[in-house]
Amino acid sequence: MLCTDLRGSAMNDKTRILICDDETHILHVVGLNLRSAGYEPVLAANGEQALEAVAQSPPALCVIDHQMPGMTGSELCRRLRAFPGLEATPIVMLTAADFRMPRPGDGDEQLSAVVGKPFSPKALIELIQSLLAPSRIGEDQ
């Protein structure tokens, strides 16, 4: 159930954002908010779908749920980091157990940010915008 049309994505210049969560309503809400903010959301309901989408076209940023059946968000994060070109791609972890997750700077440099559920979609978009700001990704240097 890959919830976006990947075929047409290469034809526009919108920034691709991968969202991986097993909760359909979160995919829907975050996807709508990203599209409204001018991004191209690529939605995946599990880790395998996320890896398939990344193999087709790498995203500029990933937002992944920690607690998913099959492949956890931590495992998906490790596997995303193994993709050539994704070593420094920002990854935001969504989790209902955010207090258990290592924070960026606490020895786990795999993650750019950890966001606890429930979360504000507006705040998530603002975080994504800040992580993709040119000064953060070296475009203005």
* Rounded CA separation 26/109 (Å): 25
Amino acid 133: pLDDT: 87
Q: Assess contact for 114 and 103: CB atoms under 8 A.
A: yes
Q: Which of 42-56, 97-111, 122-136 has the highest mean pLDDT?
A: 42-56
Of the chain, the end-to-end C-alpha distance in Å amounts to 39
Shortest CA distance to 112 belongs to which of 95, 88, 133?
Answer: 88
Shortest CA distance to 90 belongs to which of 74, 112, 58, 63?
Answer: 112
Residue 1, pLDDT > 50, answer: no
pLDDT band at 140 (very low <50, low <70, confident <90, very high): very low
**Of 100 and 119, more confident:** 119
Amino acid 134: pLDDT: 73
Global confidence as pTM: 0.81
